[in-house]
Amino acid sequence: MASSTTDPIDTARIEAAVLEILAAIGEDPARPGLESTPRRIAQSYTEFFSGLAVNPLDFLADSAEFTADSGELSELVLLRDIEFRSMCEHHLLPFIGVAHIAYVPRSRIVGLGKLPRVVDTLASRPQLQERLTEEIADALQTGLDPLGVLVVIDAVHSCVTSRGVRQSKSSAVTMASRGILTEPVARAEIMVMIGGADE
């Protein structure tokens, strides 16, 4: 496995930082409602940022089980509505949404359960939605060497819904494509298929 075995999360430092933040806003970190908050936040951060220690390509590694014969190859593999959550690196507030992943196999396919793992790994880091979309597409292109890749993400950002402009009903949509799925007609056909999830 290429993934790191070193846990980058220093929970003691997170707890100390949260104590300082609570004091900085004028709160008493020792009061009953807050005394466990630093520990809880440190624990949640180990989950939010767990992808820092994992290589997403590990989930797309070669396997004889998924080296397909020509008769087993589909024109397109599309997995819709992969739920994820990530943390916006600008405000460390969550953004939550769904990813839709499509690829056209060349000679390899992968178990469908591996695709959400790739998304979760890359989402479990300080992120920007635009970069997350590109990183998922790059991982699939590198890991599977398909003829084409299309990734579409639709997400709601807490930094938009709960602060600043407070647009509670807005969502952001980003797209990344590679290979033959950069063609507008091919992309349009897949977008219709993705839209069918709402019917």
The C-alpha atoms of residue 103 and residue 97 are separated, in whole angstroms, by: 20
CATH code matching the domain that covers 56-198, chosen among 3.30.1130.10, 1.10.290.10, 3.40.50.300, 3.40.190.10: 3.30.1130.10
Same topology between domain 11-47 and domain 56-198: no
5: its two tokens: 């075995």
CATH 3.30.2010.30 fits domain 11-47? no
Catalytic amino acids?
88-91, 129, 157, 159
Domains of the chain: which residue ranges? 11-47, 56-198
Tens place of pLDDT per residue across the chain (199 aa): 344 445 678 999 999 999 999 999 999 999 999 999 999 999 999 999 999 999 999 999 876 555 655 555 668 999 999 999 999 999 999 999 999 999 999 988 899 999 999 999 999 999 999 999 999 999 999 999 999 999 999 999 998 888 777 877 889 999 999 999 999 999 999 999 998 655 4
Per the CB < 8 A criterion, the answer to whether 88 and 161 are in contact is: no
40: its two tokens: 């809880």
Find, among 172, 164, 85, the residue nearest to 122 by Cα: 85
Give the SS3 label for residue 147: coil
